[in-house]
Amino acid sequence: MKQVTDYFGCLVFNDKVMKSKLSSDVYKKLKKTINDGKELDISVANSVAQAMKDWAIENGATHYTHWFQPMTGSTAEKHDSFISPEDDGSIIMEFKGKELIKGEPDASSFPSGGLRATCEARGYTAWDPTSYAFIKDKCLCIPTAFCSYGGEALDKKTPLLRSMQALNKEALRILKLFGQNSVTSVKTTVGPEQEYFLIDKEMYEKRKDLIYTGRTLFGAMAPKGQELDDHYFGSIKTRVQEFMNDLNEELWKLGILAKTEHNEVAPAQHELAPIFATTNIAADHNQITMEMMQRIAKKHDLVCLLHEKPFKGVNGSGKHNNWSMSTNTGINLLEPGDTPAENAQFLLFLVSVIKAVDEYQDLLRISVASASNDFRLGANEAPPAIISIFLGSELQAVIDSIETGKPLKTDGKTFLKIGADVLPPLPKDTTDRNRTSPFAFTGNKFEFRALGSSDSISCANIMLNTAVSESLRQFADRLEKAKDFSTELHELIKETIIKHKRIIFNGNGYDDSWVQEAKKRGLLNLKSTPEALQYYLHEKNVKLFTSHDIYSVNEINARYEIGQEHYSKIVNIEALTCLDMLNKDYLPAISKYTKNLAETASLKKSLGVSDSYELEILNKISGELAKAYKVKLDLKLVLDGAKNISDCTELSMYYKNNVLPLMEEAREIIDSIELDVDSRDWPVPSYGDLLYSVK
């Protein structure tokens, strides 16, 4: 039996492979590029390409691809074989440095938000050497950035790398002030937990809504949901465990540190969590994980649903983004530490995050905005749309002490002034987890819980990295000019706490009173994607992105337009699917059922039975059927009206305000009818079939 240690990372061109395949000189130069961002010399690139090709072929690869992440949120690849013709009709297997470093896939049909026209087909991919190449389906996948002929970012990786570079620059300025001269780089790290549903493939194929939209547009709740909490952390079913075993093996081969697996709260819902990795690598790994989940599920006659809310009435699926900052010397900058200097440094980085989240709460909300996540936020263990920070009782006490100037006494120690006294010992987990908080401090990291399960984690981390970079930049500008560093540091942290404490909330985010309290504090409550996206274009946000070279103005406008258009397209597809199911499935089936009821009721009446069960149900369903038919006509009319709207903002708001309510109305009617119809006559599998058919 093979041990995990024998095959872990066997399909990855990782550091171990590079050491064995490259000369010492080439290896050192490549590591210089990876660690310091230095440009790779073409001669070195040729050597790396040759070694990478030989290794890939040894492992069964026949093709290579520049694997990139366009603004669709998924991944893209165009395969080219290694073969090159010879004059005598034979072939050689060839791969050169220029093919490794740069590709030209065109890829003109991906959304660009006006950054280029379809006729302007040149699109370039550029190798990201910090993320290891890997083999998938006999193809060498080379992680790359994707940009236009004019250099504009057409992907999610490029701005993510830019944001990591910005944070590194500003964090190093701060660390230098604390005498951390041995630190040469600061990287953000992420461990994204991934929730998902597994349902039987046969059931899935009978549901057009799941096939076309990823969620059930109709469906009455089963008699049993998640109310007993018996699925959560329960014994994993055999088919599911077999899927998980295969998934783990494939992920481990790809060097992905899949660590934890368990049943989640909702029936048929599960979770996988990895060990932390550098953010751009974590983003790559999460994209691979989602792809592998869906692919491997099919091998087990299952379907993996990554939609944020595939089933109404039970928990939706999220992706918890556990984020922190670490130095190349192994210091976690969100770890309190044991000495006065470490305490002060920790507090400064802590309040930099507090300030960033408060000032750019709109951008964090945008980073998790989608038509699908709008159904999830605010209920069933998903955090509300209001962005806030949870610190926990012990850390809150420290913050309060700094603000008020009153000494904090704990364990016999007194905390008086930053940089002069040691913080009270803070356990890694200082308080119970708050599942209702979108942004919670959990010992030595922040857990951003608002991400949707189908999201790329890149956008959230771009926003977070950039916002924290701005806080650190402002702090460094001030502290570098200070005459008395310790005094200025204390005042800076205190002022920051006082100014931004409104974003800190340690209570229940589901409580109705929090909505009112948040409003009093001046916090945003952006309940829908169209509303949230409009903040992309606010002056302060444009200034943030452009000043740190994350996005140009054109790149910001493009992402705004793409976001609005994507929302409208998703809702339009859902509405068309809703109409299709009404026309071809529900209305005909219900009509046929009422005919059978009418015939039975008529027969009973002829036998002298005036008040029959069939007659009562017939009257009830007939009335609901008439309502469903009217809503169908209204929905068709509203969808036709959308065709006359060209402005992307107006169109997305139109879909939100006019189309979605009619779809929900149609659902309520059909779901109420489902409860009274013989299951043998219902045209699609029920919630009970979908949620409980996997044994």
Q: Is residue 547 part of a domain?
A: no
pLDDT surpasses 90 at 329 = yes
pLDDT surpasses 80 at 169 = yes
Write out the E strands in 394-513.
408-410, 413-415, 439-441, 446-448
**Which CATH number fits the domain that encloses residue 574?**
1.20.120.1560
Averaged pLDDT, 556-570: 96
Q: Is residue 164 part of a domain?
A: no
Averaged pLDDT, 295-314: 97
Q: Is residue 331 part of a domain?
A: yes
Give the per-residue pLDDT at 564: 97
Give the per-residue pLDDT at 396: 87
pLDDT surpasses 60 at 120 = no
Beta-carbon contacts of 474 under 8 Å, excluding residues fewer than 6 positions away, are: none
Give the per-residue pLDDT at 115: 64
Give the per-residue pLDDT at 295: 97
Rounded CA-CA distance 279/468 in Å is: 15
Q: Is residue 530 part of a domain?
A: no
pLDDT surpasses 80 at 661 = yes
- Same structural domain, 516 and 584: no
Rounded CA-CA distance 345/179 in Å is: 11
Considering only CA atoms, which of 285, 324, 355, 346 is closest in space to residue 448?
A: 324
Q: Which two tokens stand for residue 301?
A: 């006659």
Pick the last residue of a domain from 301, 317, 333.
Answer: 317
- Same structural domain, 426 and 483: yes
Rounded CA-CA distance 268/254 in Å is: 26
pLDDT surpasses 50 at 312 = yes
Q: Which amino acid is at 65?
A: T
Give the per-residue pLDDT at 1: 67
The average confidence (pLDDT) of the chain is 90
Q: Is residue 554 part of a domain?
A: no
Size (the chain), residues: 695
Q: Looking up tokens 């002060």, which residue turns up?
A: 344
- Same structural domain, 442 and 517: yes
Give the per-residue pLDDT at 463: 98
pLDDT surpasses 90 at 403 = no
Give the per-residue pLDDT at 108: 62
Rounded CA-CA distance 449/429 in Å is: 17
Give the per-residue pLDDT at 325: 97
Question: CB of 40 within 8 A of CB of 29?
Answer: yes
Q: What percent of the chain has pLDDT over 70?
A: 91
Domain that holds residue 393: 176-193+318-522
Task: Give the number of other CB atoms < 10 A from CB of residue 406.
Answer: 10
**Confidence band of 104 (pLDDT split at 50, 70, 90):** low
- Same structural domain, 595 and 629: yes
Give the per-residue pLDDT at 427: 47
- Same structural domain, 110 and 182: no
* Residue with more model confidence, 153 or 304: 304
Q: Looking up tokens 């929302």, which residue turns up?
A: 567
pLDDT surpasses 90 at 622 = yes
Averaged pLDDT, 355-362: 98
- pTM for this model (two decimals): 0.92
Rounded CA-CA distance 514/651 in Å is: 31
Considering only CA atoms, which of 492, 488, 510 is closest in space to residue 500?
A: 492
Handedness of CA 39, 45, 47, 49 (dihedral sign): positive
**Which CATH number fits the domain that encloses residue 62?**
3.10.20.70
Alpha helices in 178-254 (DSSP H): 201-204, 208-213, 238-253
Beta-carbon contacts of 452 under 8 Å, excluding residues fewer than 6 positions away, are: 308, 317, 318, 319, 368, 370, 372, 373, 376
Averaged pLDDT, 43-62: 93
Give the per-residue pLDDT at 460: 97
Residues forming a β-bridge with 592: none
Averaged pLDDT, 154-168: 95
Q: Are strands 91-93 and 83-85 parallel, antiparallel or unpaired?
A: antiparallel
Q: Is residue 550 part of a domain?
A: no
Highest mean pLDDT among 46-55, 73-82, 163-172, 340-349: 163-172
pLDDT surpasses 80 at 109 = no
**Confidence band of 33 (pLDDT split at 50, 70, 90):** confident
Q: Is residue 302 part of a domain?
A: yes
Give the per-residue pLDDT at 281: 95
Question: CB of 346 within 8 A of CB of 493?
Answer: no
**Which CATH number fits the domain that encloses residue 247?**
3.30.590.10
Q: Which amino acid is at 689?
A: D
Report the range of poorest mean pLDDT among 124-128, 136-140, 159-163, 354-358: 124-128
pLDDT surpasses 80 at 485 = yes
Pick the last residue of a domain from 461, 490, 522.
Answer: 522
Q: Measure the CA angle with vertex 185, ends 126 and 456; round to 5°.
A: 50
- Number of separate domains in the chain: 4
**Confidence band of 430 (pLDDT split at 50, 70, 90):** very low
pLDDT surpasses 90 at 435 = no
Residues forming a β-bridge with 223: none
- Same structural domain, 413 and 447: yes
Give the per-residue pLDDT at 89: 67
pLDDT surpasses 60 at 127 = yes
Give the per-residue pLDDT at 531: 95
Q: Measure the CA angle with vertex 661, ends 655 and 662; round to 5°.
A: 95
Q: Looking up tokens 């504009």, which residue turns up?
A: 152
**Confidence band of 538 (pLDDT split at 50, 70, 90):** very high
Write out the E strands in 9-152.
63-67, 80-81, 83-85, 91-93, 102-103, 123-127, 134-136, 139-148
Q: Looking up tokens 């059930």, which residue turns up?
A: 216
* Residue with more model confidence, 672 or 41: 672
- Same structural domain, 617 and 669: yes
Give the per-residue pLDDT at 252: 97
- Same structural domain, 571 and 654: yes
Q: Is residue 614 part of a domain?
A: yes
pLDDT surpasses 60 at 285 = yes
- In tens, the pLDDT along 493-511 reads 999 999 999 999 998 888 8
SS3 186: strand
pLDDT surpasses 60 at 380 = no
- Same structural domain, 328 and 279: no
Averaged pLDDT, 368-388: 82
- Same structural domain, 262 and 362: no
The CA-atom distances, in angstroms, between 355 and each of 43, 200, 370, 499 are 46, 46, 25, 8
Pick the last residue of a domain from 276, 293, 317.
Answer: 317
- Same structural domain, 501 and 518: yes
Q: Which two tokens stand for residue 637?
A: 């009319």
pLDDT surpasses 60 at 107 = no
Averaged pLDDT, 123-146: 91
- Same structural domain, 253 and 302: yes
